[in-house]
Each structure stands twice: as C-alpha cells, then as structure tokens.
Amino acid sequence: MDALDIIANLQHVIPYYQAIFSADEHRVIGYEVLGRYESGEHVDSLGPFFHDETIPEEFRLEVDETVTKKALDHFLSNGDSRLLIFLNRDANLLMIDRAESFLTLLFQYEEKGLSLDRIVLEINEQHFKGDFDQLSHLLTYIRTYGIRVALDNIGEHSSNLERISLLAPDILKIDLRELRKTSASYSYQDVLYSISLLARKIGATLLYEDIEASFQLQYAWRNGGRYYQGYYLAEPKPELLPADFLKERLREECHRFIQQEKKKLQTLYNISEQFQQRITALLAKYKKSADFNELIVAIATELGDACFRMYVCDEDGFQRSANIFKRNDTWELQPEYYMKNWSWRPYFLENIIRMRSRKRGILSDLYADIETGETIRTYSYPIDECHYLFIDLSYSYLFEHDAHY
C-alpha cells in the first residue's frame, strides 16, 4: 500500500476490533482497536504504515485519528458501556505535542457520553527514543483523566524492567508468541516469570496476548493472567462480539486447567509425603551415626534412585557436612563445601522457619541447579531444632514421577 493512496482515501480506513477476555468472568471485557485499509474485497493491516518511520508524522497521525474516531463512534452507538477500549499510540508521536491532540479528541467524545475511564492507552516502550522521565511525567498526567496505560509487546525482545517500573503501567501486555519456539521456551518462561514478579510489585494487571494455542492459554492462566487475547480466542473483526461469546468454552478450558493443576499438585504432595516417610525411617535407622558425614553417606546409598546430592545445614545456613555427590553412579564426598553459607538463597530462611514450625519436610519449586544446570527440585527435612537435611532430586526421577513441570 502506498502511503499517499491511504491519505487520499481515508474513507477506506476502518477500525477492526480484537476482543480481550477476562479470567474471572470468562467474558469480553474490552477490545483493542486495530487499523485496516479496505480495498475492494481485500482488507489489509495498517500496522506496516504506522510503523514506517519514513512516512511523514502528520500522515500517520491523521490516519490514527481517523481510525480512532470511527472506532469511538462505533463504541458509543453499539458497545457495552463497560467495555475497555485499547487505543494504540506511537509514544514518539505522542510526545510531539505532549498528547494534546490525543486528549483533545478524547475530550470531544467525553462530551458525547464516553467515559474516559474506559480508555486504555497502549504504547510500546521498546520503540520509544526520547527521554523516559519525560514520557513517565506525560503518562502520569494522562492518568489524571482516568485513562489507563498499557505497555505492549512485553517480553517480545529484551524488556527493560527498570523502564517498565519507571513508567508504572496499569496493564502489561505480555507476548506469548515465543512460547511456540521449543528452543527458546524455557529461557523465555524465566523472563516472563521475572516480568510477572515486577507486575505484582508495581500493581499492574497482566494481559497475555498472541495466544494461538491452548497450551499458551493454560500458561497465561497458570501465571497470573487476568486478561487474554489472541487468535486462539478471537480474530480481529469489523464488528463487536457478544459479551458471552466464549463463556462456555472458556469455562470448560478453565475446568480442564484446574483438573490438570490439581493433579500436578497432588503428585507433588504425594512425592513430599513419600519422602517424609522415607527420611523419617532412615533417620531413625541411622540415628547412631557418628557425625553428619556418616549420616548422609548412609542415607545416600538408600536414596540413589532419587537424588544426586545431599548435605546438612544449620538454621543460619552454614553447611555442617560435606556434600555427597553422585557422579557416574558413584557417590563421593566433597569436603570443600563444609561451612559454606547458603542463607543468601531465595526462600532459604523462610523455609527453615516453615520446617521448624511444622516439623515437616518441604519440596521446592523447580529451579536450575547452579553447578549442573539441570532442572531439579530440593527436598528439605528438619533433622532436629537446629539442623536440616537437603536432598537434591534428579530430573530423571522427577520426570519418571511426573514432577518435572
């Protein structure tokens, strides 16, 4: 499409609407407005037009305003007054007049009955080339009118968590396309996990976008997604959908996710209970061991089917035994680990308190082992009031017992 043809034929510029669904109500809660150009039987995306920096700014602004006006007219005449309206804007263009033209347009529609708290301004911070402090101030000002801010395509490339925090968005739109690439999925999930932690800290709602398969929807559900969007749920359309368009299907999928998650949690509970019983019995059997090294050697020989490393720490995280490590099916003591301190590890002291108060062992989440790089879980068990046994379970054992995810 030629930019001049588009400008000369604005009557062919139309909005399309891609539905956004909620996790709590399983209904349509809003739409992202997307620009399209209608030519005969063909409808083409205006995405390339808006992203082409060789096209004059005034052209892109004019087309953007045309799409927005037609969309807002449509929402006022046809839409549910509760629906959120996601409007994409180039942050670089927004800064040219400090969003004056954008806000002026919205004020015109406010006079027609549009509540500005329905508007979600959607920007891509990764494409912004200006001063982030100034952008942050502008977004703060825009919010004074009840308008929410969403950052788009989070995770698509290397997202800057400091910038995200500075802009303090109301909504983070997390891109799930990368999850379809097997080679990148594990590292990408780690990135998304970090982003989800940040969202919780700054109070931002997670919207997972580009959902194209059931497993991506399940990932979004499992990882704190309140809102969902993508072709798996609904493609962009020239008209709005009924609010309950996918209600039954989403309820069915959610029920399936819940059943799978409960099965997973039951499996982990069973493993933890089995180790509770095994370790209790082994500690009773070897209670006369001369020291902790002798104790872990004895226990390791009986847990060779499940673990590859074992050691004892005190309540402050100082290691009171050597490591016993399984290499090529042979156990070996590593005395150099004696008196190393592990209190700096996430959740270490918290888990010590939990074990002490409950007098029970704990099975950790999955994590990558620092030394081997293997995905593992650790089972921790209180030997007495001051000492705790740590048993690193191998991935092969977790895989055999469906505890590897």
Residues 6 or more apart from 90 whose CB is under 8 A from it?
A: 50, 60, 123, 124, 127
The Cα–Cα gap between 351 and 375 comes to 20
pLDDT of residue 157: 58
Rounded Cα gap, residues 108 and 10, in angstroms:
20
pLDDT of residue 254: 96
pLDDT confidence tier of residue 311, bands split at 50, 70 and 90: very high
Residue 202 has pLDDT above 60, yes or no: yes
Which range is least confidently modeled, 81-90, 122-131, 186-195? 186-195
List, in sequence order, the alpha helices (H) in 321-394: 348-358
Both tokens of 122, joined, read 């959607």
Predicted pLDDT of residue 84: 97
CA 228 and chain centroid, separation: 12
pLDDT digits (tens, 9 = 90+) for 234-283: 999 999 999 999 999 999 999 999 999 999 999 999 999 999 999 999 99
Q: Is the pLDDT of residue 185 over 80?
A: no
- Write phi, then psi, for 250 (nearest 5 degrees): -65, -35
Q: What is the pLDDT of residues 313-336, one digit of tens each?
A: 999 999 999 999 999 889 999 999
Contacts of residue 335, Cβ cutoff 8 Å, sequence gap at least 6: 322
- Looking at residue 183, what is its pLDDT? 52
What does the alpha-carbon distance between residue 334 and residue 311 come to, in Å, rounded to a whole number?
10
pLDDT at 98 over 90: yes
Q: Burial code of 25-64, b = ≥16 C-beta within 10 A, e = fewer?
A: ebbbbbbbbbbbbeeeeeeeebeebbeeeebeeebbbebb
**Average pLDDT, whole number, for the chain?**
92
Query: Residue 109 contacts by C-beta under 8 Å, 6 or more apart in sequence?
Result: 72, 76
Averaged pLDDT, 75-85: 90
Is pLDDT above 80 for 31? yes
Q: pLDDT > 90: what percent of the chain?
A: 77
